[in-house]
Amino acid sequence: MTDQTVGECSNPNTSVSEPTAEDRIASLVAEKAVVIFSISTCAMGVAVKALFNTLKANATVYELDRYPWGKEMERVLIEKNGSIPVVYIGGKLVGDTKRVMDSHIKGDLAKLIKDAGAPALLTLPSILYNI
């Protein structure tokens, strides 16, 4: 009888399991400074993405309804956070639309983005405030 394992390689007949939704989220969040999980038809997601675009944050957006594994990730994210969209900055959960907007109004959001290593405007141009 011969061993079916050679070095670090495993038996080709052994099935490789897909990563769990939790593992996939952790992996995606670890890869980029700013990550937004959204649904392409969600109005709140559009608002959050527009804010990060205005801040020049170069966010990585995952539209969960466009991926075969998206429904399971959506379920996990809603369990953790209560709603979609969900924003992570520097690998840490910032939260849903309300938490993101609250952080922006307090002036903390741009600093979080910059501290995570992503470019961001520290202040918005006055034209955006209609001043």
- pLDDT above 70 covers a percentage of the chain that reads 79
Question: Predicted confidence band at 122 (pLDDT cuts at 50, 70, 90)?
Answer: low
pLDDT tens digit sequence for 56-93: 898 999 999 999 999 999 999 999 999 999 999 999 99
Rounded-to-integer distance, Cα 20 and Cα 24, Å: 6
Can you tell me the distance from the alpha carbon of 98 to that of 104, in angstroms, rounded to the nearest whole number? 10
CATH number, domain 21-129, options 3.30.420.40, 1.20.970.10, 3.40.30.10, 3.40.50.2020? 3.40.30.10
User: Quick one: pLDDT at residue 11?
Assistant: 45
Res. 119 pLDDT band, cuts 50 70 90: confident
Q: What is the pTM of this model?
A: 0.79
Closest by CA to 13, choosing from 3, 4, 2, is 4
Q: Domain extents for the chain?
A: 21-129
Instruction: Let me know: does 47 contact 85? Beta carbons within 8 Å.
Output: no
